[in-house]
Amino acid sequence: MKSNYLGLLGLAKRAGLLEAGDEAVRATLSAKKARVVLVASDASERTRSTFEFIAERVNVPIIPVEETREELGNSLGRRPCATVCVCDVGLAASIVKKLSEHNEEARLALPAISARADKIAARRSRAKRKR
């Protein structure tokens, strides 16, 4: 049974916090704005290794998902895409939490991304109190 993280991806897209497609994800990773990268199950080995290398350099978790490029693209209302990245840490943590129910890589990435989300939430809270 697949988790409903695809709904959260749609929410991230509507909020403008999601990039889809190899070039857009690569640019977002290079700008250090990505919080998590998802790779389709049928992505080529070259695509996987390229994004694993880039994501490792900027310390962003990369998680392979069960969905194919076609399913991933269709869930976002676009053409097939092998890679997707989420730019908001809160949404990324929610997506990884949903994925961790059935995905070992997501389960391993969950503590790190949850810690980042908590740290950013605390920082925002302190800044709000100062105002």
For 72-108, write each residue's pLDDT tens digit. 999 899 999 999 999 999 999 999 999 999 899 999 9
Q: Contact 90/35 with Cβ under 8 angstroms? A: no
CA pair distance 25, 62, nearest whole angstrom: 12
Protein fold of 5-130: 60s Ribosomal Protein L30; Chain: A; (3.30.1330)
C-alpha separations of 86 from 24, 34, 99 in Å:
11, 6, 14
Q: Is the pLDDT score of 129 beyond 80? A: yes
Place of tokens 């392979």: 64
Closest Cα partner for 48 from 122, 105, 110?
105
Q: What is the pLDDT of residues 21-75, one digit of tens each?
A: 999 999 999 999 999 999 999 999 999 999 999 999 999 999 999 999 999 999 8
CA pair distance 26, 69, nearest whole angstrom: 17
Q: β-strand 83-86 against 36-39: which pairing, if any?
A: antiparallel
- The residue type at 54: I
